[in-house]
Structure 1
């Protein structure tokens, strides 16, 4: 069964063999985060949610991350990190603003890094677990053929490196853990409303089903990878 078929089974609830898992969704108030929460509920998982809006989680503040995540009791077999900010995409190098770039990095790269620090405690020591962090294809250096969007691209490239490093470290103590970056495609949310353009879009619900299907189909030897919504590897 390929990953797309796995996603369809996950979304439709036909996979009767899987047991109820504990899941944690961070960034649960965003469009994709909300949809992932709903999809996890629909398949019977026990879901814990965190967001800035509901829980005061400020991923740009290390003390806030430590306080909010430190209050959680693991383990979670599934962790989905959906925090991110687009900022104002630069069309040229002379549009780069140091303060704006620093803020994009604080949310897109440093914030998830602060979250991933808690993985050793939040993931089960034994048995399969998956932590997926929402990235973006534009963070791929190898796939960049048009330039622009410098802050967002660079912050997602940095995120991918952090995820890759975290996967290596977790693999030493949590042998069956899987930590990956995922590209959701262009999703119909407020986040992309002004920039989708002529790109093919999917609903948040469809994106959530695709992403969970990819997560369900991953194996431990794919930990540290960067994959799209169809389970295809994205170049670094």
Structure 2
């Protein structure tokens, strides 16, 4: 064996030995700490998403929870031409990311909610509002809810009667910085007419009186 081959063999052997020596140390350094102490989490976990599952990851505890709520028919206070009743189905999944100081620094949600409306006390539904969104809550200061920026993406509202196309539908993104009115960028289809908005307060996109009128129209099938 020449000198070059001997040196190469020695280097390979040395690297292999070092790898074997270093492997346990590296694995140990990458192993996350022990079980998550949920009592230390700030903010605390929402009791409506129980049961929560928390795991220790490299960046800190990661907790996931789901919620499925249903609300039976009840009379609303919408000022429609006839009494309107509402029932609701809410399905949400949430993931919270904490650092190893147990401070929440990010959250992600998936939400699928449906409100049904009817002119009869027990249905059937004659109109509906559905929402299918993902939203992210990023903390400016970990653990401080007042510093969250909330970004919502998806179908924000789909308002329709039981028959036919949507009366009003908004698809896009709402960004809500801390203490600031959220702005909407996306498309709205209003009775078949599409419009695009860029950084417009959502309260201007769908004012309260317009929302009430749409609910009444969807529930009663009359404009």
Structure with more of its chain in helix, by fraction: 1
Superposition TM-score, scaled by structure 2 size: 0.27
Structure with more contact order per residue of length (Cα contacts < 8 Å, sep ≥ 6): 1
**Structure exhibiting the larger radius of gyration computed from Cα positions:** 2
| TM-score (normalizing by structure 1) | 0.26
